[in-house]
Amino acid sequence: MTFRVRFWGTRGSIPVALTAFDIRDKLARALVEASGRTFDSYEQAHAYASTELDFSITHTFGGHTPCVELDLGGPEYYVCDLGSGARPFGVHVLANQSRRPAVVNVFMSHVHWDHIMGFPFFGPAYVPGTTIRVHGCHDVIEQAFRLQQSAPCFPVDFDQLAAKIEFVRLEPDKPNVVGGLTVTPHLQLHSGDSYGFRFEKDGKSVVYSTDSEHKLENRAESESFAAFFRDADMVIFDAMYALAEAISVKADWGHSSNIVGVELCQMARAKHLVLFHHEPANDDATLEGLLKEARRFEELTRGEQALKVSAAYDGLELEP
């Protein structure tokens, strides 16, 4: 039984690349940490970097905008959102298929640009024989895909794509069976509406809940999300802001925070919270700080069951 979650894009709003300054900063910090040590080989140095250096020195939290694959180990592909992470995801699909046409099941939380911008660069869309089924609850999904791929904004019109592209409407709060998965969408508070998806397979559950603001003072709302996250093995959660920002200057911006993620997952008795949709203005050290803050808060407020807390980055793979 395979059920792997592979993060191809984890940044919110717009892709972010490391700058030359960032690289020099990471190198300088690594050299300070390693001063006095000697390494006889690349492997020794690599092992030291992998095990002893701080995460924010050796990694970077997502450059690409949202794209999260659910790998069921079968012949079909399953992916949430087609942000700029859809480009490397497409490269992976083509390499994996070695010329066999693919079937790709897409689940769209909503059609804000950061969630669709990768599709014009999604290689399999240009391969004859490919089937792409785009699932979602909005009635504007096809319109949004066509709009971003039309003149004068993009040179290849949507109608010129070689793949067979179907749009499938899902009903909120109803379990839908799509290939090897059961998926239940749930309406979220966000400009133009967004939907979270709860995926279930062989007794394991993964919730993908991004671009979603929570007003914890609204009891009915909190309880509806606690029910949606109930006992989930993994909750991928919109933690764009720090709590102080989320409830002050950025209230009503349609996003949530690391701390609210911990609180909702604790209410739901979920097992693993994965912070996601990182704010583009935050550097790696800031994001690592938000992760540590969420972990500290979880320890202080822990009930009978511990909640594991991670922060997503491009390239991360997890098993629920």
The one-letter amino acid code at 105 reads N
Closest CB to Zn ion among 211 and 314?
Answer: 211
Structure letter (DSSP) for residue 119: G
279 is a site residue for Zn ion (CB under 5 A): no
CB 88 to Zn ion: min, Å: 18
Strand partners, 68: 7, 80
- Provide Rg for the chain, Cα atoms: 20
Closest CB to Zn ion among 102 and 106?
Answer: 106
- Of 11-19, 129-137, 177-185, 221-229, which segment contacts Zn ion by CB under 5 A? 11-19
Residues 6+ away with beta carbon under 8 Å from 158:
145, 146, 149, 150
- Of 104-112, 149-157, 169-177, 298-306, which segment contacts Zn ion by CB under 5 A? 104-112
CB 44 to Zn ion: min, Å: 41
Q: What is the rounded CA–CA span in Å between residue 240 and residue 260?
A: 11
114 is a site residue for Zn ion (CB under 5 A): yes
CB 116 to Zn ion: min, Å: 10
131 backbone dihedrals φ, ψ, rounded to 5°? -115, 125
Task: Kindly state the tokens that stand for 207.
Answer: 């919730």
Closest CB to Zn ion among 72 and 80?
Answer: 80
- Of 162-170, 210-218, 224-232, 259-267, which segment contacts Zn ion by CB under 5 A? 210-218
Closest CB to Zn ion among 279 and 288?
Answer: 279
11 is a site residue for Zn ion (CB under 5 A): no
Task: Kindly state the tokens that stand for 93.
Answer: 């699909």
- Of 134-142, 207-215, 222-230, 312-320, which segment contacts Zn ion by CB under 5 A? 207-215
CB 87 to Zn ion: min, Å: 17
- Of 109-117, 135-143, 198-206, 289-297, which segment contacts Zn ion by CB under 5 A? 109-117
Task: Kindly state the tokens that stand for 75.
Answer: 């012949």
Strand partners, 185: 197
57 three-class SS: helix
Give the largest CA-CA distance in the chain: 61
Closest CB to Zn ion among 252 and 304?
Answer: 252
211 is a site residue for Zn ion (CB under 5 A): yes
Residue list 138-167, contact with Zn ion (CB under 5 A): none
233 is a site residue for Zn ion (CB under 5 A): no
Task: Find out whether 184 and 173 touch, Cβ atoms under 8 Å.
Answer: yes
Closest CB to Zn ion among 59 and 112?
Answer: 112
Determine the residue with CB nearest Zn ion.
112
CB 254 to Zn ion: min, Å: 6
294 three-class SS: helix
Task: Kindly state the tokens that stand for 28.
Answer: 């300088």
Counting residues that bind Zn ion (by CB under 5 A) gives: 4
Q: What is the rounded CA–CA span in Å between residue 251 and residue 158?
A: 36
Strand partners, 164: 131
Query: Which of 216, 237, 239, 230 minimizes the C-alpha distance to 288?
Result: 239
Task: Kindly state the tokens that stand for 280.
Answer: 């583009």
Positions that interact with Zn ion (CB under 5 A): 12, 112, 114, 211
